[in-house]
Amino acid sequence: MTSAISVRHLTKDFRVGLRGLKLRAVDDVSLEIPRGQVYGLLGPNGCGKSTTLKIVLGLVSATAGEVSILGCPSATPEARRRTGFLPEAPYFHKFLTGRELVRYCARLSGVPSADVAAAVEDALGLAAMTEAADRPIGTYSKGMLQRIGFAQAVVHDPELVILDEPTAGVDPVGSAAIGRMIHAMRGKGKTIVLCSHLLGQVEQVCDRVAIMDRGRLVLEGRVEDVLSRRDRHVLTVESMTPAAREAAEAALAAHGAVVTSVTHPRRSLEDLFRELVTGSRDA
Partner 1 sequence: MQASFLRISWIARVTFLEAVRQRFFAFLLILGAAMALSSVSFRVLDFGHGELKFIADFGFGGMFLFGSVLAVVMTAQLFFSEMDNRTALTLLAKPLGRGEFLLGKFAGAWAVLAVFVGVLSALLGVVLWGREQELLLLAEQSGKVPPTFSASGLAQFALLQWLRLGVVASIVLAISSLARTFLYAVVVGALAVVAGQLQWIAQDAILKPTESPAYEALLWCTSRVLPNLQQFNIGDALVLGATGVPADAVGAVVLAGAAYMAAYVFLGALLFGRREI
- The reply on whether position 49 binds partner 1 by CB under 8 A is no
CA distance 145 to 148: 5
Work out how close the CB of 9 gets to partner 1 at its nearest, in angstroms, rounded to a whole number.
20
Among 4, 41, 54, 148, binds partner 1 (CB under 8 A): 54
CA distance 136 to 96: 5
| Interface region with partner 1, contact rule CB under 8 A, candidates 54-62, 123-131, 194-202, 208-216 | 54-62
- The reply on whether position 140 binds partner 1 by CB under 8 A is no
Distances in whole angstroms, Cα of residue 51 to Cα of each of 21, 74, 195, 209: 18, 14, 11, 17
- The reply on whether position 68 binds partner 1 by CB under 8 A is no
Rank residues 16 and 250 by Cβ distance to partner 1 and give the closer one: 16
Work out how close the CB of 166 gets to partner 1 at its nearest, in angstroms, rounded to a whole number.
13
Rank residues 60 and 178 by Cβ distance to partner 1 and give the closer one: 60
90-109: contacts with partner 1 (CB under 8 A): 90-93, 95-96, 104-105, 107-109
Question: Crossing angle, helix 113-126 and helix 98-108, to 10 degrees?
Answer: 130
Contact by Cβ (8 Å): 276, 259: no
CA distance 261 to 268: 19
CA distance 156 to 102: 10
Measured in whole angstroms, how far is the alpha carbon of residue 110 from the centre of its chain?
A: 25
- The reply on whether position 80 binds partner 1 by CB under 8 A is yes
Kind of pairing, strands 208-213 and 38-42?
A: parallel
| Interface region with partner 1, contact rule CB under 8 A, candidates 34-42, 75-83, 197-205, 226-234 | 75-83
- Residue ranges in contact with partner 1 by CB under 8 A: 54, 57-61, 77-78, 80-81, 83, 85, 87, 89-93, 95-96, 104-105, 107-110, 149, 152, 162
